[in-house]
Amino acid sequence: MEKTFKNIDEVIKHHLANNEVDKTAKLIEELKNVKKRGYLTKDEFIKIGMWKSPRSKKHYLKNSEKDIELVTKKSFSSNSEKEKIEILIKLHGVKIPTASAILMLIDPQNYGVIDIRVWQTLYLYNEANTKPDGKNFNSDDWVTYLTKIRLFAKNFNVTARNIEKALFDYHKNEQAGNLYKERKSHIDPIIKKLVLKQFGKDNDLYKLAKEYFINEEFVSTGSLQRILKISYIRAAYILDRMIEEGFCDKQSGAKPCKVLANKN
């Protein structure tokens, strides 16, 4: 994968979005009292595990209610981020990525999930200097990652989860541009039909988007999501329409589209 932005700040800027997918938002809402309580129940632990990595369900089930309560209580009460994660991975089926998901889902303000995509994005832009494949994380990698995304979150005045999602979406979009290029033309018409059926032509929203981005140099699905507070699918539809009508140029991988419309 090659760089499509000059630095990591540009990556984040063009992929920041405050909305959360329904399934994740619902789970975060369900877990909002966990920090105050100080531990997870087994039911909550299983839900988190299934959200992050369903394949490990049989291992999650090996943990007793008592063990989950004791381990999570000890982890959540620690003042050391390294210790927090090292305690959590003592549970059956829990490795660093799943442990990071536990922390993020109960506190998205201060935590983000660590996985292959976000790490590879950081490595690509020289924000990480080990493990280019983004695998086999240890607690030191976790502390490095957490320090980075918290710094970015502070600089952009957003949550750590927002930063994680921006890094993840950049990688996902860039990879899709390279790996699924041939299939894209078959998928897009189907998505467009579904969007049109559910939302109509979104004329008012489309006009609002053009009015805003006429004064910008670039436009992307991430920036449309962030400004209009809409889903990825609706943002993708609006961007496609902008391209078709010559408002901006064609997208290349994860790179944003250059606005071509006359600003005068």
Question: Can you tell me the distance from the alpha carbon of 5 to that of 254, in angstroms, rounded to the nearest whole number?
Answer: 9
Does the pLDDT of residue 182 top 70, yes or no? no
Q: Are strands 257-258 and 218-219 parallel, antiparallel or unpaired?
A: antiparallel
Name, in order, each residue with C-beta under 8 angstroms of 98's C-beta and a sequence gap of 6 or more.
48, 49, 52, 53, 56
CATH architecture of 182-258: Orthogonal Bundle (1.10)
Which is more confidently placed, 188 or 18? 18
Does the pLDDT of residue 174 top 90, yes or no? no
Amino acid at 92: H
Q: What percent of the chain has pLDDT over 70?
A: 86
pLDDT in tens, 46-105: 999 999 999 899 999 999 999 999 999 999 999 999 999 999 999 999 999 999 999 999
pLDDT in tens, 184-202: 433 345 445 545 544 555 5
Question: Can you tell me the distance from the alpha carbon of 203 to that of 246, in angstroms, rounded to the nearest whole number?
Answer: 16
Straight-line distance from the first to the last Cα atom of the chain, in angstroms, rounded to the nearest whole number: 37
Helix (H, G, I), strand (E, B) or coil at 252: strand
Mean pLDDT to the nearest integer, 149-174: 94
Does the pLDDT of residue 223 top 80, yes or no? yes
Band (254; pLDDT cuts 50, 70, 90): low
pLDDT for the residue numbered 96: 97
Band (229; pLDDT cuts 50, 70, 90): confident
Does the pLDDT of residue 178 top 60, yes or no? no
Which DSSP helix (H) or strand (E) runs through 154? helix 139-156
Mean pLDDT to the nearest integer, 206-224: 84
- 182 C-beta neighbours (distance < 10 Å), count: 7
Does the pLDDT of residue 176 top 60, yes or no? no
pLDDT for the residue numbered 145: 98
Q: How long is the chain?
A: 264
Question: Can you tell me the distance from the alpha carbon of 135 to that of 251, in angstroms, rounded to the nearest whole number?
Answer: 30
pLDDT for the residue numbered 185: 37
CATH 1.10.10 range(s) for the chain read 182-258
Angstrom distances, CA of residue 65 to CA of 39, 42, 52: 11, 5, 20
pLDDT for the residue numbered 257: 86
Band (262; pLDDT cuts 50, 70, 90): low
Angle (nearest 5°) at CA 106 between 88 and 102:
30
pLDDT for the residue numbered 202: 57
Mean pLDDT to the nearest integer, 22-45: 96
- Contact between residue 217 and residue 260 where contact means Cβ atoms under 8 Å apart: no
Name, in order, each residue with C-beta under 8 angstroms of 25's C-beta and a sequence gap of 6 or more.
none
Which DSSP helix (H) or strand (E) runs through 219? strand 218-219
